[in-house]
């Protein structure tokens, strides 16, 4: 698809390219009940309830850290500092000094699943089998699709005793604690009670989390109920129920909020924010480890293989205009992390808007408005962290056209885009695209950078979608994964990030300020500087 969007149109706002739509029929069923928090998600479907949900980080936010716990949690209680790892179902974890590939986790005592059964190390083994052991009777392909890429170095695991779980990696990997924070711990007996069938289990999901599943309809809603017996008394939910409703179209979310069909929405469109404020709704924003980029294929056969083309494209982006279009609800793209982040604190280089320099570089590569580069980019209509993807991508399309890069879009539903991302850029499912617009969380060295760059993490092993391969990068990544001292590791990760920016391996566009809109009746929400949020402190007043 292609749409011309001139500079004047770009600055008029996202409303020029976003169309309102009627409220879905099922919202009529979402009437408020006392003590109920109703959330309008950007996802097109309710995330899966299998402990490793789909729908990206949004799925983990609403179904991963609600129904389930992980061995390691994130501290989501603060708005004024980045989220950090804290004990979850494991009270402690460590790598063996004599064999740093082996990790042990000490399990918390007294934790019970929603069905009253105690947590044991065997349940943790079962949960890892479900993701990693293809020949296990309880292997879940859907959980594997989203979980394996989080812990790709894990080679073996075992229950040492009832309170100790251990795993071993193929290579030394200091990022293991971050990876296991994505793997929800499932109760084996609950899977057996569901007929040893993951499809049946989805409607009867059992975890140890602060919320219990009451009902699940993948295209309509999920209803979660307060777990009054949750092991962490400080995080017993203040609301009686949590209702999750998929509303992928931004103006539909706004209409649902205005009409009291929901209490809380993700990613309100920028042009709706002033009127929502005027009407008394609360708008909450915060910086977090977010990037909005195009991940570019750099393997043989891609037009982005030429560094002059990648650098020229980055110089053609008017990020200040994009920020104006979004009502200021973004920081200008400064890499894979916002400027001032731990790994982007004093950048060696920062891309600015310089169309003359862009044209010069592109001309050296044989690309001009008269001899344009024509290629396709995969984008979504909505999704976790995707901000306002249609408006933003159409603005980029016009900016790049002015310097000789003509873009055609392949538009996918968000979860479908994530699926083709796992296939790799040359897979037929990608329909010939050479870049993909997926915003992703940058919360740890592996998730932020390594999974896209290490040469042995091309699909299906990881998210090196575009086939990037560099011995120099591999060597630096190896040093990062072998470094257990946090300060020394930070220095190495900063070096890696600086190389990524200088080599323009992505089209760096924006860092979201994560706007959420909610009724004034919603109290107690603290917007963490994270992709994940804790809804347990939230209450809805009368």
Q: Divide the 542 residues of the chain into consecutive groups of 10 and give the mean pLDDT of each group.
A: 36 36 53 84 95 94 98 97 96 97 98 97 98 97 94 97 97 97 96 97 97 96 97 97 96 96 95 96 95 96 97 98 95 93 85 96 96 97 91 97 98 93 94 96 94 94 94 98 96 96 97 96 96 97 86
Contact 382, 414 (CB under 8 A): yes
Contact 486, 457 (CB under 8 A): no
Tally of residues, the chain = 542
The separation between CA 30 and the C-alpha centre of its own chain, rounded to angstroms, equals 27
Phi/psi of residue 421, each to 5°?
-60, -40
Rg for the chain, CA atoms, rounded: 23
Q: Which of 288, 305, 349, 287 is nearest to 508 (CA)?
A: 349
pLDDT digits (tens, 9 = 90+) for 263-295: 999 999 999 999 999 999 999 999 999 999 999
Structure tokens at 241: 């129920």
Contact 91, 76 (CB under 8 A): no
Instruction: Give the contacts of 118 (CB within 8 A, at least 6 positions apart).
Output: 110, 111, 112
Task: Output the CA–CA distances (angstroms, integers) from residue 148 to 182, 208, 292, in the order listed.
Answer: 10, 22, 23
Per DSSP, 117 falls in state P
Instruction: Give the contacts of 471 (CB within 8 A, at least 6 positions apart).
Output: none
Q: Report pLDDT for 333.
A: 95
- β-partners of residue 159 are 165
Q: Hey, CA dihedral for 268, 274, 275, 276, is it positive or negative? A: positive
Per residue in 415-446, is it b (16+ CB within 10 Å) or e — as a string? bebbebbbebbbeeebeebbbbbbbbbbbbbb
Contact 62, 265 (CB under 8 A): no
pLDDT digits (tens, 9 = 90+) for 353-388: 999 999 999 999 999 999 999 999 999 998 888 999
Q: Residue 222: enclosing H or E segment and its boundaries?
A: strand 221-226
CA–CA dist 70, 89 (Å, integer): 6
Task: Output the CA–CA distances (angstroms, integers) from residue 177 to 94, 145, 445, 495, 521, in the order listed.
Answer: 9, 20, 11, 22, 37
Terminal Cα distance for the chain, rounded = 47
Per DSSP, 273 falls in state H
CA–CA dist 508, 294 (Å, integer): 7
């Amino acid at each position: 698809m292609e749409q011309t969007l001139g500079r004047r149109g770009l600055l008029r706002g996202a409303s020029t390219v976003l169309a309102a739509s009627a409220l879905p029929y099922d919202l009529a069923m979402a009437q408020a009940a006392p003590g109920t928090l109703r959330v309008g998600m950007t996802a097109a479907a309710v995330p899966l309830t299998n402990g490793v949900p789909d729908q990206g980080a949004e799925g983990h936010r609403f179904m991963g850290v609600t129904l389930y716990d992980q061995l390691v949690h994130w501290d989501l209680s603060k708005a004024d500092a980045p989220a950090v790892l804290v004990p979850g179902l494991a009270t402690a974890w460590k790598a063996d000094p004599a064999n740093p590939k082996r990790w042990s986790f000490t399990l918390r005592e007294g934790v019970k699943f929603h069905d009253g059964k105690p947590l044991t190390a065997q349940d943790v083994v079962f949960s890892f089998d479900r993701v990693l052991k293809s020949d296990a009777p309880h292997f879940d392909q859907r959980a594997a699709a989203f979980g394996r890429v989080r812990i790709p170095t894990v080679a073996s695991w075992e229950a040492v005793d009832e309170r100790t779980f251990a795993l071993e990696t193929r290579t030394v990997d200091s990022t293991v604690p971050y990876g296991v924070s994505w793997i929800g711990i499932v109760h084996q007996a609950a899977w057996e009670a569901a007929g040893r069938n993951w499809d049946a289990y989805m409607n009867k999901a059992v975890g140890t989390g602060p919320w219990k599943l009451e009902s699940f309809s993948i295209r309509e809603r999920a209803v979660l109920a307060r777990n009054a017996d949750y092991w962490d008394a400080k995080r017993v939910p203040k609301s009686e129920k949590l209702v999750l409703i998929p509303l992928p179209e931004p103006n539909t979310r706004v209409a649902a909020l205005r009409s009291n069909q929901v209490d809380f929405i993700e990613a309100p469109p920028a042009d709706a924010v002033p009127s929502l404020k005027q009407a008394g709704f609360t708008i909450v924003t915060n910086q977090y480890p977010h990037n909005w980029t195009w991940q570019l294929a750099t393997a043989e056969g891609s037009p982005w293989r030429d560094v002059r083309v990648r650098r020229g494209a980055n110089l053609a982006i008017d990020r200040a205009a994009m920020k104006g279009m979004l009502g200021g609800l973004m920081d200008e793209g400064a890499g894979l992390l916002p400027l001032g982040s731990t790994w982007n604190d004093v950048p060696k280089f920062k891309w600015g808007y310089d169309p003359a320099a862009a044209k010069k570089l592109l001309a050296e590569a044989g690309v001009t408005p008269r001899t344009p580069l024509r290629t396709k980019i995969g984008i979504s209509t909505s999704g976790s962290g995707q901000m306002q993807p249609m408006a933003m991508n159409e603005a980029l399309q016009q900016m790049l056209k002015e310097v000789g890069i003509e873009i055609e879009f392949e538009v996918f539903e968000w979860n479908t885009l994530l699926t083709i991302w796992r296939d790799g850029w040359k897979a037929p499912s990608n329909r010939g695209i050479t870049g993909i617009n997926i915003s992703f969380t940058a919360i740890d060295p592996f998730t932020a950078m390594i999974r896209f760059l290490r040469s042995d993490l091309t699909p299906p092993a990881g998210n090196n979608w575009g086939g990037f391969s560099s011995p120099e990068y591999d060597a630096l990544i190896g040093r990062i994964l072998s470094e257990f001292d946090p300060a020394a590791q930070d220095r190495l990760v900063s070096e890696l990030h600086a190389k990524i920016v200088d080599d323009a391996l992505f089209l760096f566009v924006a860092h979201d300020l994560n706007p959420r809109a909610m009724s004034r009746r919603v109290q107690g929400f603290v917007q963490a500087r994270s992709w994940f949020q804790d809804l347990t402190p939230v209450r809805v007043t009368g």
